A and B are shown apart, each in its own frame.
Chain A
Amino acid sequence: GEDVEQSLFLSVREGDSSVINCTYTDSSSTYLYWYKQEPGAGLQLLTYIFSNMDMKQDQRLTVLLNKKDKHLSLRIADTQTGDSAIYFCAESSSGGSYIPTFGRGTSLIVHP
């Protein structure tokens, strides 16, 4: 199976909360990241969390980490049409020289 798995699509209504989920297999993962990609562009870091944390909040973004279940989630509060993009989960560990391994990305579609 894949090292990092995400569902491919999520559709939400403007103003609702979005929750994008990710699971990973490497129990030694040290850093877990969320990147955002807008159409035809590169990726930009949204946030990352160190593996000894279970939550990180940054304005409208909340990251939850369940290390036991190897599950990471990104919650976007008050989702706007400008949040429509592909969201990538990634993990890195010392065994991989801290080079991120990316999931396939979740396409978030926000309806007005």
Chain B
Amino acid sequence: DGGITQSPKYLFRKEGQNVTLSCEQNLNHDAMYWYRQDPGQGLRLIYYSQIVNDFQKGDIAEGYSVSREKKESFPLTVTSAQKNPTAFYLCASSPTGGANVLTFGAGSRLTVL
């Protein structure tokens, strides 16, 4: 079955450490996205990529980095520069054109200890 796989589901990190969240899709979608979700704040866009080897900053990119070396993969690194990294992170993908309907992964919950 096609879909998006995020890993790990839960991640704990000490302050000052970088962590990388994995996102893989087998939907043959061109575009991929990372959103951050905090309680009561909805989804905020971190980074997006509409084509391999290219990506753009979203609304809250500071303290995060991404790469898009393969169409299927869009990993997100939460760096030590991110002041408040504890959150639920959602990866999504969409095909080019049309209504741009996003397909989401199941999410990764990062907790900084």
Contacts and interface: CB of A to CB of B under 8 A. Distances in A.
A17 interface: no
26 contacts: A8-B40, A31-B99, A40-B107, A40-B109, A41-B106, A42-B90, A42-B104, A42-B107, A43-B92, A44-B104, A48-B101, A50-B99, A88-B42, A88-B43, A92-B99, A92-B100, A97-B50, A98-B100, A99-B33, A99-B100, A100-B100, A100-B102, A102-B35, A102-B42, A104-B40, A105-B42
Interface in A15-63: 31, 33, 35, 40-45, 48, 50
Contacts of A98: 99-100
Given A8-B40, A41-B106, 13 more contacts: A33-B99, A35-B102, A40-B109, A42-B104, A42-B107, A43-B43, A43-B90, A88-B43, A98-B100, A99-B45, A100-B102, A104-B41, A104-B42
